[in-house]
Structures are given as C-alpha cells and as structure tokens.
Amino acid sequence: MDFTERDMYRAAIHGDRDAFEMIIRSFSRPLFAVAYGVLQNREEAEDVVQDAFVKAWKTRWRVRDPEKFPAWLATIARNRARDVSRARRTVPLSDELDEAAEPVAALTASGDLNGEVQAALASLPETHRVALTLRYFDALDYATIERTLGLTNGALRGILGRALQTMRKRLQPALASLE
Amino acid sequence: MATIHDDIESWLAAAVHEELSLDERREFEAHLVSCAACRALHQDQINMSNMIQNTLTAERPDNAFEQRVLSGFRRNVPQSPVNVISLFGRVLQTRAARITAVAAVLLGLTQLGTWLTVDPHGSELAVRAASPPGSLAGLREQLADQSPRAPAPDFLDAVMRDARTSAGPATASRPKSGTESTRRPDEMSAPPPVAAAQSRSRADAATTATAPAPPSPPADAETERVVVTGSYIPPAPSDNAVDQLAVTTSSEDSAVSPGATPGPPVGVPDNRKLIRNAQVELEVVKFDEAVQRITAFAAEDRGFLATSSSERQANGKLRGQLVVKVLPETLDAFLMKLRGIGEVKNQTLGTDDVTKQYFDTDSRLNNARTMEQRLMDILKTKTSKVADLLEVEKELGRVREQIEQMQGSLKYLDAQIAFATVSITLAEKDMNLPAAFLLKRRAQLALFSTDVEKTFAEAKDVVDGAKAQISSSSLDRDSTGEATARLTLLIVPEEADALIDRIKGMGRVQNYNEQTDRIAQGGGTGMSDTAKVERDKVELSITISRNEQEPALQTTHLRIVTSEVTDKVARLKESAAKQGAEVRSSSFNRTPDGEEFANVTLRVAMKNYPALLSSFDQLGKVKDVSVHREDRRGVINEETAPADISIQVYSEGNIVTDESGIIATIRRTLTQGAAALMWSLRMIGVAVAFLAPWALAIAALVWIVKRVSRARAARRADEREES
C-alpha cells in the first residue's frame, strides 16, 4: 500500500469527508462485487453498497489501523449483504419454494448460458463466489483481492482454484456443447 | 512436475487469471506440454472463464454507479456542522492528543497533590519562581507598584538628610545603604506601614527632642556612635534595622548637638538642674594606697572624700566603701582616672533631672516671699483690729516656715547639683584566698575476731593508755548471739599511726581505708601558698565482728557416694573435729525411693584443708569436686584464712522404676507416635491456614481476568456483528 493511499484512509478515519468520498469512488465497485458475490442481485447489491458506506462513515473511528481500512469496508458490506440475504430467506416458505423452483425451471427451459453460469455460481460457497465476483467484475489482481477479503497470501489461489473447479464440473455439459 | 499436477486447480485458476509469475508460467507450460489431461483441463478452464466473464460483465454496475453511490451517501450523511462530541472523539484519535491528554491529567493530579501538601508559603514561592523568564522587568514593575505604599524610601531619604549633618564614618558608609535600598526595594517595603509610621514618628520625636535631650556622658555617646556607624552597614535594612535607624538618628542628634566641647553639661543650657552620680566597683592591690590616690584625684578636681569605711576579712584582705564628691563637669575625667587605680569590676552612671522640681520649688518660694511681703505690709499699716493682726502674725509664721522649708530643699538640691556623688567599692585582690588549711584525716577499720567482747575490751584499754579519746562505742548482740562492736576514736595526729597499728594487730583485718581532707579556713576556697596548714585530730572508726561473718577464701563442693549415709556422716564429723574444722551446718534427707542425702558444711583453716580433704577418700567414692577460690587484698595470713567445704553424702536408691518392660515400651512408643501424628496434623493445619487465603486470592484474580477477557471478546464479537 503506498503512502498517499494510507494517508487517505487515515484522513477519512479522522473525519475528512473529501478523503472519504474519494474512497467511495474507488471502492464502490469492489464493494459491489462483494455484495453481489453474496446476493447475486444487482439492485440489492447496490443498496448494500450505499448502506455500507453510510455505516462505515458513522463507525469509522473504530478502525485503528488505516491499512486495514479496505478489509474493514469489505467486511461491512459483506455483513450487510448477509443481513439482506437472511431477510430474504425469512419470507414465507411457500414463496421461497416458488422463487427457488422458478429460476431453475426458467434456466433449464431457456437453456440460457448466463442462467447456467449464475446457477453454478449460486451453488458455490459464499467466499468462493465473492472471490470470483471480485476477480471477474473488476479484474482485480490477487493482491488487491487478498487485501480486500483479509486473506493471507496463497489462500486466494486455492479458493479460486476450487471455485473454478466446482464451476467447471457444474458447467461440464455446456463446455462440452461448446466444443 | 507432480506438484503442479496434484495442485492443478489452483495453477489453472492462476493461469487463467494471468497471475502466474514468469517462472511459474514457464513451469506450468512445460507441464501442459507433458500432460494431456491438464492440457484439456486448461482449455476447459479458459472456456469457462470466458463464460463467467461474459455472464458477470453483464451484471457489472453501469458507469453512473459510483456517482449514484456518492450522491446516496451525501443524501444519507448530510454535511452537518461538526459535532462537538465527534470532534472530541476524532481529536482523541490522534496519538499526540492522547499523550497530551494523559500528560495533562498527570500534571493536574501532581498540581493537586502539591496544593494539598505544600503550605501556602511554599506555593507562594513556587508562584514567584514560576513567573516568566524575563521576570526582572516584571519584578521591577511589581516593585514600582508596591513602592507608593512603602514609606521606607521616603523615610530613608529623611534619615539621610538628617545624617548629612553628622560627620565621620556614618557619612562614609551611607552610600552603601543607598545602593542597597535601591537594589532591594522589596525588602525595604517589608515593614508594615504601621511600623514604618511608628518608626518615623519616633524619628520625628527624636529630632524635636534634640534640644532637651538628656546629656549623656561621652563614654556612652562613644558607644552609641559605634552603633550608628554599624547600623548603616547591614546589606538589607529590615524592619528592625529601620527602627534602629530611628533610634540611632536620635542618639546621633543628641550626641552631635554638644558640638566641639566634650563635656555634655557644658552644651546643656544652664537652667537645667541635674544630679549626677556614679557607682564604681574596683579591685585594687592595696586598699590604703588606693584610698590615698582617690583622695588625691578628688582634690585635683576640687572634689573631696565624703565618707570612707573599711573592713578586714579573715584572710587579712581589706574591703571598703568610699563616697567621693566631685564637680559634675569633672565627673567623667574622674571616672577615667579611677580606672588607673585598679580593675573596674562594675560601673554605673546615673543622671537625675530635678529641673521641674527645682523650679517648682523656686516659684513657690517666690510666691511665699510675696505673701510674706504683703503680710508684712499689713502689719506695718496697723490699721486693723488686734484680732486681725494676730491672725496676720500667725499666717506670717506659717509662710515663713514654708519659706525656710523650701529654701532648705533648694539648698539641698543645689548641693546635690553642685557635686556629683561617686560611690566606690574597693576590694583587694584575691579576696577569696583562704586564711588557713586544716588537714582532717578519717580512717575506717573492720576487724574479725573470734571473741568480739574480748577484742572490744582490749581496744578500749589501748585507747585509755594513749593520747586518744573514745567519742562513741557500742556493742550489739543479735538474736543468734552474734556480736558486733563499734568504736569511734579521736587520736592526736602524732600518735595516730602507732595506735592504729596496735589495734590492727588485735584481729584479722577485713578492710582498712582512710581519707584526708584539706579544708580551707576563713575566706574562700581558692589556693594559697602562704596560708598555714594545721593537722586536726584523726578520727578512727572501728568495727569488730565475729570470724564467722568473714567470707571464706576458698569454697569446695564435693559429693560422696556411699551405701551407709548416717555412718559415714558420723565418721566425717569425727575426722573434721580432728583437723580442727568447725561444722557450720548439717542436714539429713531420705526420699520415698530409699535415697538418702546428708549435707554437711565445714569451715577449716587453710593449713588443715589438704589433710581434711584427703581423709574423705576413706569414706567412699568422692565425686563432683569443685573448688572456688576468691583472693582478696589485705588477707595476709593464708594459713589461718577460712576455707569452706560443703559435702553431700548420699546413697543411690535401690527401687527399680516401673516404667520398663515390653508393655511400657510399646505404650511409650504408641504415645510418642500419636503425639508426632498430632503434631504433623497441626502443622498441616497451619500450612493450610497460611496458604488458603493466597490460593483464594489468586483464584479470584484469575476468575476476574477471565471474566474481563471474555466480556471484551464478547463485545468485540458484537461490534463485528454490528458492522
């Protein structure tokens, strides 16, 4: 992390609104990726990003180490997204069943490749999915992703490897048909 | 390349995402060339990655996304005026602010402690010390503020103006005090205004009182002048010093006013009536010579010796008193001359101002004279009745009596004023020398005698034949028949030694001591080479007591074991009698166990001691012999000196103790075992009692620490949950 970035985080922590808005500009996309990784829903993810920044501003003084600011932002967004996902699941069981049944049927019916990819993504563990979205949305390098997710060096490779393996297995028919 | 193959998935992912390093990429490609399966997987991976990329690119937020988020944020978090609390919290975020806050708190506590513990004086000092570094100017300002209140400088000016008229060392040292006063004005302002005012008024009084100031003799003026010069020297004139200044000014004025003429009465206006007198105590070598010289001195100055008295002491020294009248003007010169005669021990000088009394009497006298004149006139006219004339005559007599009385007192005063009175006490040197010495010799003699009465009678006989007398004698006999005789003799000094030696020969001397006092007679206690020495009668106190009271020279303890105690004791006594030993005590005991004890104490002369001791060997087994010898000075005859022997003759009991045998042993063992067990139990109890509180305290501490850390962890988890 270079010095100016770090200064920016520190200024934001100390209440510099301009610095915080700069952070919003540079971090809203990664946060979106994180939220999308959890929710797989654009609108909800965008709301989550909004909420996450507001909350981050209000509780910014809790961050002691400016270096960990990005990870902290990602944690807020992820927790917020989880809350949303949990709230979604508390809707009546019948609705959920309908909802769950419908997309699969639609996907199979249309044979849409995007739908299949989405379904395969949905079957991944959350962490794997978030890592993938971070990578594929913004083509972030591994180091940035590691920092954002608070992962140690090397762990991300394993996560992404397993994630893509699972995906490949799920998408084997589609891949086969491609060839 | 097994590792790549085994872990192919992460390699594939990293390759697809182009996150392999150059070396890794080379390795990976090498593996793909060799491994067909991996090659196929890699192809699938690329295809799938493209699919995912396609899918998720569609889901990417649009370009206005950041702006939306930003505006949403601005909407949700309006730019509010800075919250004081949040500002405070933010400020506290910085480490510098935190350190400053802690330091401030510590400093505050320290200051509080200082306030609570240090006395107000100290804090005042501290405040003064804490004034800014460039405080010299500040101090000066402060002083300038104070100076109007402080009358001291004004006063000092006044004093200096006054002093300018005076001459001598005072003038020389004055500038010093001036600089001091400017350099230390704060201290000058120290005296409270009241005191300053007082001192000023005193100074004023002194100045106004210059004219009627009582004339002081030159000697006193001299000393006071010394004080004057000295008082200007102190570096910091304090309250006291200012007072002193006032005093010295007055004295200076009074001392200066007489001017060039040395005799104070000359400077005093003539109409003052003063009676001067002096007392002098002189120590002279020869009384008569001194009286002659004093008379001569008095005559020189038109004075005279009024009275004289003398008294001869026992040691031949003379002491006396003279009263000399001299003219007041020459009094001081006369006193100076007196110093030449001998050593002045004491001198007082007094002046009695009788001006008022004198002139009162004088004016009353004038009135009375006028009255007398008028009465005379009445008598001369003779126009009145006889009764009135008689009355006038009577009144005239009363007035004349008054006139005479007043004339008499005026005359007396005149006489007193005309001559000063000097009372001189003369004493010859070495007044306390003793006239003679008396040598007084006292001796105490203690004798032991086998027959006190006989020795007592002998001693009396000896005394009767010599030049001595018995001043007291007594013979006491107590209930046990022991007699003690006491004699006190007064012996002519020449025969004393012979007589004492004879009495010493009558018995054994326990102790003898004598002392000689040299007593000074007449006069004091001092030394004198000339006083004669006389010898007084020698006082001898004799105490005669019986031999038995004499402590033994040697004491021996021994024990004899034998089977027949009574028999052996009888034999022991026999052999003791053979050696001329005296049985002083004897006792016999028998215990229920069959043990027998006999204690015998013998006293024998030292010459028979070895023989007696060897005779004991025949009686039985001699054990535990201990000998204690006490040599005393003055015991000359070791042959006859007494030796004490205390003997214990005893038999060992023949009864076997019942605490033996196997059962007794077992019982003893069990008892001891039980006792040891109980003891160790008690020790364990003590140890537990000692350790338990500590263990409890440590457990409590650990519990608290655990609780705290758990609570902290829970809170942290909550926070995480919240965020």
DSSP single-letter state for residue B194: H
Of residues B452 and B3, the one with the higher pLDDT is B452
At residue B686, does pLDDT exceed 90? yes
Of residues B452 and B83, the one with the higher pLDDT is B452
Burial grade of B24 (CB within 10 A; 0-12, 13-18, 19 or more): middle
Q: What is the pLDDT of residues A62-90, one digit of tens each?
A: 888 888 888 999 999 999 999 988 888 76
pLDDT above 90: percentage of residues in chain A: 10
Interface of B with A in 574-613 (CB under 8 A): none
Who among B14, B54, B66 is closest to A28 (CB)? Answer: B66
Chain A contact for B61 (CB, 8 A cutoff): yes
pLDDT tier at B243 (50, 70, 90 boundaries)? Answer: very low
pLDDT at B125: 46
Mean pLDDT of A45-57: 90
pLDDT at B476: 87
pLDDT at B689: 92
Mean pLDDT of B57-68: 86
Do residue A167 and residue B52 have CB atoms under 8 angstroms apart? yes
pLDDT tier at B224 (50, 70, 90 boundaries)? Answer: very low
Of residues B266 and A170, the one with the higher pLDDT is A170
Of residues A106 and B43, the one with the higher pLDDT is B43
Q: Name the most confidently modeled range: A46-60, B514-528, B708-722.
A: A46-60
Query: Which residues in chain A are closer than 8 Å to B49, comparing Cβ atoms?
Result: 164
CA closest to A76 among chain B residues: B723
pLDDT at B124: 46
Closest-CA residue to B150 (of B43, B86, B239, B21) = B239
CA B682, distance to chain mean position in Å, is 53
Mean pLDDT of B289-308: 85
Interface of B with A in 80-139 (CB under 8 A): 86-87, 89-90, 93-94
Residue with tokens 């054994």: B508
- Pick the residue of A28, A62, A110, A121 with the most B CBs within 10 A to test the interface with B by mutation: A28
Mean pLDDT of A3-23: 84
Who among B55, B79, B94 is closest to A117 (CB)? Answer: B55
pLDDT tier at B635 (50, 70, 90 boundaries)? Answer: low
Do residue B9 and residue A32 have CB atoms under 8 angstroms apart? no
At residue B189, does pLDDT exceed 70? no
DSSP single-letter state for residue B617: G
Mean pLDDT of B215-226: 40
Mean pLDDT of A143-154: 84
How far is B56 from chain A, CA to nearest CA, in Å? 6
Chain A contact for B501 (CB, 8 A cutoff): no
Interface of B with A in 30-59 (CB under 8 A): 41, 44-45, 47-49, 51-59
Mean pLDDT of B267-296: 81
Tokens of B188: 């000058």
Chain A contact for B18 (CB, 8 A cutoff): no
Q: What is the pLDDT of residues A104-132, one digit of tens each?
A: 444 444 457 788 888 888 888 888 999 98
pLDDT tier at B181 (50, 70, 90 boundaries)? Answer: very low
One-letter amino acid for residue B38 of the chain: C
DSSP single-letter state for residue B214: P
- DSSP codes joined into one string, B315-332: TS-EEEEEEEEE-GGGHH
pLDDT at B460: 84
How far is A104 from chain B, CA to nearest CA, in Å? 16
pLDDT at B549: 67
pLDDT above 90: percentage of residues in chain B: 7
**Phi, psi at residue B437, to the nearest 5°?**
-120, 150
Chain A contact for B66 (CB, 8 A cutoff): yes
At residue B403, does pLDDT exceed 70? yes
Of residues B78 and B277, the one with the higher pLDDT is B277
Cα distance between residue A67 and residue B583, in whole Å = 114
At residue B149, does pLDDT exceed 70? no
pLDDT at B240: 46
- On whether the CB atoms of residues B250 and B223 are closer than 8 A, the answer is no
pLDDT at B698: 96
Query: Which residues in chain B are closer than 8 Å to A21, comparing Cβ atoms?
Result: 70, 73
**Phi, psi at residue B556, to the nearest 5°?**
-125, 135
Number of A to B CB contacts under 8 A, please give it: 134
Mean pLDDT of A31-43: 90
pLDDT tier at B709 (50, 70, 90 boundaries)? Answer: very high
pLDDT at B205: 44
Q: Which residues pair with B322 in a beta bridge?
A: B308, B424
pLDDT at B561: 83
Do residue A137 and residue B56 have CB atoms under 8 angstroms apart? yes
Of residues B65 and B702, the one with the higher pLDDT is B702
pLDDT at A1: 52
The side-by-side arrangement of strands in the sheet containing B554-561 is B582-590, B596-605, B642-651, B554-561, B621-629
CA closest to B10 among chain A residues: A161
Mean pLDDT of B618-633: 80
pLDDT at B170: 42
- On whether the CB atoms of residues B341 and B284 are closer than 8 A, the answer is yes
Query: Which residues in chain B are closer than 8 Å to A175, comparing Cβ atoms?
Result: 44, 47-48, 51
Who among A25, A76, A165 is closest to B66 (CB)? Answer: A25
pLDDT at B675: 95
Query: Which residues in chain A are closer than 8 Å to B71, comparing Cβ atoms?
Result: none
Tokens of B657: 């103790």
Mean pLDDT, chain B, as a whole number?
A: 75
Query: Which residues in chain B are closer than 8 Å to A25, comparing Cβ atoms?
Result: 66, 70
- On whether the CB atoms of residues B549 and B452 are closer than 8 A, the answer is no
pLDDT tier at B579 (50, 70, 90 boundaries)? Answer: confident
Query: Which residues in chain B are closer than 8 Å to A57, comparing Cβ atoms?
Result: 73, 77
pLDDT above 70: percentage of residues in chain A: 85
Do residue B89 and residue A21 have CB atoms under 8 angstroms apart? no
| Cβ neighbours around B485 below 10 Å, total | 23
Burial B589-626 (b: 16+ CB within 10 A, else e): eeeeeeebebbbbbbbbbebbeebbebbeebbeeeeee
- On whether the CB atoms of residues B318 and B311 are closer than 8 A, the answer is yes
Q: Worst-scoring range by mean pLDDT, B252-266, B286-300, B327-341, B462-476?
A: B252-266
pLDDT tier at B524 (50, 70, 90 boundaries)? Answer: low
CATH number 3.40.50.300 given to A3-178:
no
Mean pLDDT of B651-665: 70
Q: Name the most confidently modeled range: B358-367, B570-579, B691-700.
A: B691-700
Cα distance between residue B162 and residue B199, in whole Å = 15
Q: What is the pLDDT of residues B88-139, one digit of tens each?
A: 766 666 677 888 888 898 888 888 888 777 655 544 444 444 444 444 444 4
Do residue B69 and residue A28 have CB atoms under 8 angstroms apart? yes
Residue B303, phi-psi category: left (phi > 0), alpha (psi -120 to 50), beta (remainder): beta
CA closest to A155 among chain B residues: B10
Tokens of A71: 């990870």
At residue B193, does pLDDT exceed 60? no
